[in-house]
Structure 1
Amino acid sequence: WCDVLRVVVVVQAAWSVVAGQVRYSVPEEAKSGTVVGRLSQDLGLEAGDAASRRLRLVPQGRRASVEVSGASGALVVSSRLDREELCGKSAPCALRLEVLVERPLRVFHVELEVTDINDNAPLFPAARKNLSMAELTTVPGSRFPLEGASDADIGANAQLSYTLSPSEYFGLEVKSKSENKVSLVLVLKKLLDRETLPVHRLVLTASDGGRPSLTGTMELLVWVLDANDNAPQFNQSVYKVQLQENASPGTVFLQLTATDKDEGINQELRYSFSDTMPAKVQDLFIIDRNSGEIRTAGELDFEDVQLYDLEIEAKDKGWPPLSGHCSVELEVLDVNDNAPEVWVTSLSVPVPEDAPVGTVVALLSVSDRDSGPNGRVRCAVWPASPFGLESAFAGSYSLVLREALDRERTLPVHRLVLTASDGGRPSLTGTMELLVWVLDANDNAPQFNQSVYSVKVLEGSEPRTLLTTVSATDLDEGINSDIIYLFSRHVTAEVKEMFTIDEKNGEIRLQGKLDHEEIVSYEITVEARDKGFPPLSGHCKVVLEVLDVNDNAPEV
């Protein structure tokens, strides 16, 4: 710097001598003691005159920041030189000094130019600027003017260029308005989406033309204003819930939550059932409009409906309002609240008592409106004999004959109790009573109350005399127990001519004339025959003794 200054001073001093004025230049911020110029020499003074003739600066109103060295007569920097403080933006920055010398008294004019160095960085009006832009409605190409920076320096040191931090959404347009003025415009390149990025942080940098260059920055905060462009979203499209059918009204079974990426009123939600849900279903449930809590309003019945499909809507308060939807699949779980039912689908009664074992007497159906173990039904019959149950497939039973029937030895009518029990805990049962009549079969022969009837009759008794009455019984019923009496086929015609038998009441009467002297006794086989098919018979013997009377005179 000293060499440069010296050259300048020499050139200017030469000019100054001609013009009667000395000019110097010094860069601002030169260190204290820096020699500005050989003032004594440039004024034409002899060596040593500076001190003897008292070469000095004439004080003026403001501090000059330079002084004359008494010994050498050089003009040196005495305090900080700040061009911007001294002259602001004025150029050139020239300080006019008066130098006084005595013997003889003379006044010299000295002009000191303070030259600019790049000691001031560009400065924006504020370190941060906030901008607000609406998403969706602010279209690409929209322009937003910005205030530029200032630089206290001058010349190339004050020539500013601008750059914007990289952004896919914004660009910077710089246009020169005049030699030292530019217009800055922030240009939107792409539609904004608040939900993707609610705040864009940009840095605007101003660089001056100094060497080295100094920079200043301003942060641009672009706040994206919300538009109602996002519908509410549930965290699941389908919610699956299980609830027992005996849940009391008011039972909370699900808490729904939807979110909306918007903000403010556009984010506030109301929950409701979809209009597509039948009113009958809506009456069974209540949804809290604010919280999304769903609870029962009525009683559920698994046997009526096992699955409810609830369509839920979440609507925001934006304009126009947007909606999100989800489904709630409510599975109603069965509890053992229904007793089994048993009924007869087909009945073949009365049952012939000679029906073979395995004969199907009735077809039964059982059901239980519950499901799973609660709906699995076991069926039993009491008493366990002579009938039993066989299951062909689930829910169907056959009542079959397991033992041979004997109407006469057991019962003519069987009173059966059919019991159906489910697999619940505790088990529920249903019962019904079934009467099975046994149809008589002709399986019993008539039985006489005596196997032998002994009769005594006097010979010569009158015809139509009642000799005896035979009697038989039949354990069967109906036509199978109707009995006719007749002489056995082994009875001879002579006997049949002598006696008669009433087929209805079994009365045996005399029809011919008995003669003791001819036949002393008769043995008659009597048959009791029922009217069944085939007919059955029982037999007895009637032993008739002919008693003698004195009806013959002695013969000589």
Structure 2
Amino acid sequence: IDNEIPVTLQVETESDKFAISPSGEFTTKVKLDYDEGAHNYSVEISISDGVSNDRAVVDVRVTDVNDNSPVFASDSVTKSVPEDTEVGSNVTAVPATDKDSSFNKELRYSLRGGEGRFSVDPVSAMVTVAGALDREAKAEYNLLLVAEDQGRPARSATATLLVQVSDINDNVPEFSEAEYEAEVLETEAVGTSLLTLSAADPDEGANGRVSYSIFQQSPSSHPDVFELDSSSGTLRLAQPLDYSEVKVYRLKVQASDGGTPSLIGNGSVVVKVKDVNNNPPEFSKESYDVAVPENLANGASILRLEVTDRDEVSGMRPKGHLSELRYSLRGGEGRFSVDPVSAMVTVAGALDRETKAEYNLLLVAEDQGRPARSATATLLVQVSDINDNVPKFSEAEYEAEVLETEAVGTSLLTLSAVDPDDGANGRVTQHHFPRHPRPPVDPRGPVLRGKPRKYFHHHRHRRRPGPERRGHTVPPLPSPALQVQRGEARGPGTPPQPVPSP
């Protein structure tokens, strides 16, 4: 433009967006937005020098610049997927938009977080499962999605994706112990709590809600001894116990969840019944009766007692057990003893039937409970005789006087011999050892009779009568001397007199 000729320049169209200076500089009056406005403008301008006018058209083409960042429809998205979703399955697409054009609006997607369990398609923004899910290991994942355009420099945007892993019934209830054990006194009341079972199911809701039951009990001969609370898992006593009948119960228990179908875990419970000293010992008899010879040696066994205790009937008695018995006896004057463990009664002192023919003993059996229980029985020991005593005459020497005129068969005196043995062993017969022909000794009774002698013959007669035993063994026996003295005739009926030995 010739500055010497004054002219007027003017924008005739799009004057709100463009302007022209007197010097002819064409400019924009506002920021042009490729994304919002027109991409091309035809701007008509006029020029006038006051005489002539002219017009021209300026074509303006707006080009895009990367002045817009991508935008997600929502800054935060939540999705739920079952924990058994297969790898490669779609979760959701989370696309973004960009108002720019061409490559400035071309977006690429990426994902951060998720521990490798998820991936996103870089073009479609589809999020998929990339690894096995387990709600019990991790119930939710917070992912950060990134959308980035291809401008230079690039612009980006982010959004969060919360993936919640929903439960399926894929876990079996598991007891806290492989085997539970409880001890209970046999005297515990019905309803007593023994223990509480605990089974865990990490599933959610009904899938993880556990109920308890007993499905088997041994021994089967004693059913329904226990009851199990289905909700709390508390095991209680349902029937009275008796240690002498059952010492150990074994239960098979189940923990079932509420899923469909229900999953079941198995466990076991051992209940040991503890013996209470509620039974006294029992002798096989209330009274025993034995006979022993009086020459039985010390230490000889005469009787083994049979005693039981219902607190333990198996015979397998650990030391110190309630049914471990100890034996003692009372009476017997020290002639007998009993082994405190084996219950064998033995001779402890010399026996002599002639001194004491029988002994009454009190037998005592006592268990090891606290307090102890005991039982008693009686033992009658009868001492039988052996031929161990020699008959004894009442006098060492007998003496009698007899008239020479006494008739044959006249009783002169009566001999007496005693044997304290019993029966045939103590039955005594008499005989004599003659040096001269002499009257016999009546075996039915020790009566001495004589034949008549003339006065001028022997004045004194000595004889050796001897007792004889009927026992099996007859040792040499002592015999007294017998002296008979003749005298003058006396009056009739005058009895002879025994003369005691000096």
* TM-score clears 0.5: yes
Q: 2:488 aligns with which of 548, 551, 555?
A: 548
- On the 8 A contact 1:348/1:361 being kept in 2, the answer is no
Task: Name the residue aligned to 1:534.
Answer: 473
1:158 pairs with 2:105: yes
**Cα RMSD between the aligned structures?**
3.4
Provide Cα deviations, 1:338-371, integer angstroms capped at 9, x if missing partner: 3344558xx9942111122222212235554455
Task: Name the residue aligned to 2:194.
Answer: 253
Task: Name the residue aligned to 1:399.
Answer: 345
1:117 pairs with 2:65: yes
- On the 8 A contact 2:70/2:149 being kept in 1, the answer is yes
Letter in 2 for 1:514: R
1:386 pairs with 2:335: yes
Cα distance in 2 between the residues matched to 1:257 and 1:118: 64
Aligned residue for 2:437, secondary structure, equals helix
Task: Name the residue aligned to 2:495.
Answer: none
Task: Name the residue aligned to 1:196.
Answer: 137
Provide Cα deviations, 1:202-239, integer angstroms capped at 9, x if missing partner: 33322111111111223333333322211111122122
Cα distance in 2 between the residues matched to 1:355 and 1:260: 77
Task: Name the residue aligned to 2:497.
Answer: none
Could you tell me the percent identity over the aligned residues?
Answer: 30
Shift of 1:144: 4.8
Gaps of 5+ in 2: 313-317, 492-502
Task: Name the residue aligned to 1:139.
Answer: 86
Cα distance in 2 between the residues matched to 1:453 and 1:310: 94
Q: 1:494 aligns with which of 412, 415, 437?
A: 437
The alignment's TM-score, normalised by the length of structure 1, stands at 0.75
- On the 8 A contact 2:42/2:57 being kept in 1, the answer is no
- On the 8 A contact 1:58/1:97 being kept in 2, the answer is yes
Seen in structure 2, the aligned counterparts of structure 1 residues 477 and 147 have a Cα distance that, compared at 3 Å, is same
Choose 1 or 2 for highest CA Rg.
1
1:351 pairs with 2:292: yes
Q: 1:229 aligns with which of 159, 170, 194?
A: 170
Letter in 2 for 1:515: K
Task: Name the residue aligned to 1:504.
Answer: 444
Letter in 2 for 1:291: S
Superposed, 1:252-401 pairs within 5 Å as 252-275=193-216, 277-342=218-283, 349-366=290-307, 368=309, 369-370=311-312, 371-373=318-320, 374-383=322-331, 385-390=334-339, 395-401=341-347
Letter in 2 for 1:516: Y
Seen in structure 2, the aligned counterparts of structure 1 residues 238 and 376 have a Cα distance that, compared at 3 Å, is same
Letter in 2 for 1:518: H
Cα distance in 2 between the residues matched to 1:547 and 1:121: 176
1:219 pairs with 2:149: no
1:461 pairs with 2:406: yes
Aligned residue for 1:290, secondary structure, equals coil
Provide Cα deviations, 1:232-278, integer angstroms capped at 9, x if missing partner: 11122122333333333222221111111211211111111134655
- On the 8 A contact 1:483/1:504 being kept in 2, the answer is no
Task: Name the residue aligned to 2:498.
Answer: none
Cα distance in 2 between the residues matched to 1:149 and 1:79: 29
Cα distance in 1 between the residues matched to 2:459 and 2:88: 154
Cα distance in 2 between the residues matched to 1:271 and 1:453: 105
Provide Cα deviations, 1:365-410, integer angstroms capped at 9, x if missing partner: 555445541343322222361112347xxx524322121111111x
Cα distance in 2 between the residues matched to 1:289 and 1:425: 38
Shift of 1:288: 0.7
Cα distance in 2 between the residues matched to 1:81 and 1:281: 96
Cα distance in 2 between the residues matched to 1:525 and 1:48: 208
- On the 8 A contact 2:88/2:129 being kept in 1, the answer is yes
The alignment's TM-score, normalised by the length of structure 2, stands at 0.83
Aligned residue for 2:206, secondary structure, equals helix
Shift of 1:73: 6.8
Task: Name the residue aligned to 1:444.
Answer: 389
- On the 8 A contact 1:517/1:548 being kept in 2, the answer is no
Q: 1:186 aligns with which of 123, 127, 141?
A: 127
- On the 8 A contact 2:227/2:235 being kept in 1, the answer is yes
Letter in 2 for 1:400: T
Aligned residue for 1:329, secondary structure, equals strand
Provide Cα deviations, 1:161-220, integer angstroms capped at 9, x if missing partner: 222347644443466xxxxxxx44334444433223322433332211111111122333
Shift of 1:482: 0.9
Letter in 2 for 1:421: E
Cα distance in 2 between the residues matched to 1:493 and 1:517: 17
Task: Name the residue aligned to 1:479.
Answer: 424
Seen in structure 2, the aligned counterparts of structure 1 residues 151 and 535 have a Cα distance that, compared at 3 Å, is same
Shift of 1:324: 1.0
Letter in 1 for 2:292: V
Cα distance in 2 between the residues matched to 1:154 and 1:360: 121
Seen in structure 2, the aligned counterparts of structure 1 residues 48 and 359 have a Cα distance that, compared at 3 Å, is farther
Aligned residue for 1:523, secondary structure, equals strand
Aligned residue for 2:305, secondary structure, equals strand
Cα distance in 1 between the residues matched to 2:137 and 2:247: 43
Task: Name the residue aligned to 1:429.
Answer: 374
Seen in structure 2, the aligned counterparts of structure 1 residues 154 and 343 have a Cα distance that, compared at 3 Å, is same
Cα distance in 2 between the residues matched to 1:152 and 1:299: 84
Letter in 2 for 1:172: V
Aligned residue for 1:240, secondary structure, equals strand
**Which deviates more, 93-102 or 348-357?**
93-102
Task: Name the residue aligned to 1:36.
Answer: none
Cα distance in 2 between the residues matched to 1:317 and 1:252: 26
Provide Cα deviations, 1:432-478, integer angstroms capped at 9, x if missing partner: 22111111112222233344444332221122222222223221111
Cα distance in 2 between the residues matched to 1:548 and 1:48: 228
- On the 8 A contact 1:414/1:437 being kept in 2, the answer is yes
Aligned residue for 1:494, secondary structure, equals coil
- On the 8 A contact 1:124/1:148 being kept in 2, the answer is yes
